[in-house]
Amino acid sequence: LLLEKDCWGNKKVRWPKYKCPTVCLNSRYWKFQEINMASIFTQIIEGEIPCYKVAEDDKFNAFLDINPNAKGHTLCVPKEEIDKVFDMGEHMYLQLMQFSRKVARALEKTVPCKRVGMAVVGLEVPHVHVHLIPLNEMDDMRFTKKVKMTSEEFEMLADTISEKLKQ
């Protein structure tokens, strides 16, 4: 008997009866088979999950990270769901970098910082995404220190960055 569970917000997983994470929390016992479902970013892009959108064109979206390392931490995401950055075609990869650069320039005009750092990690969500993080110190890039913001602060910041993109 297999139990079907939503896990990590983006995959449906079939868990053996006694190996379900609600029963056994030690991950070394988890045996599962992934069933492909839209990533959380695809759900955001399709409007199923709300976001604080900063920019959009025909191929990419940019929105604020809801668990930011620093104020203004933005994610640039292709609309096409691709797992790994180097699995992208060269042309699309270059377009993502150009899109990210435009967003980063607007971010620099909006959030006081020494520079905007960029990271492409990709382990937490199986959908290519570029982190743009306003940096004032190296710890801002380490993904260990998080900043709390209200929904009003997120909305105002997203609107301001969007306006700077239009200038």
Active-site position among 73, 127, 129, 131: 129
Residue with tokens 């650069």: 101
Ramachandran region, residue 8 (left: φ > 0; alpha: ψ -120 to 50; beta: rest): left
| Active-site residue, 129 included | yes
- DSSP string of 37-103? ---HHHHHHTTSS---EEEE-SSEEEEE-SS-SSTT-EEEEESS--SSGGGS-HHHHHHHHHHHHHH
Residues serving a catalytic function are: 129
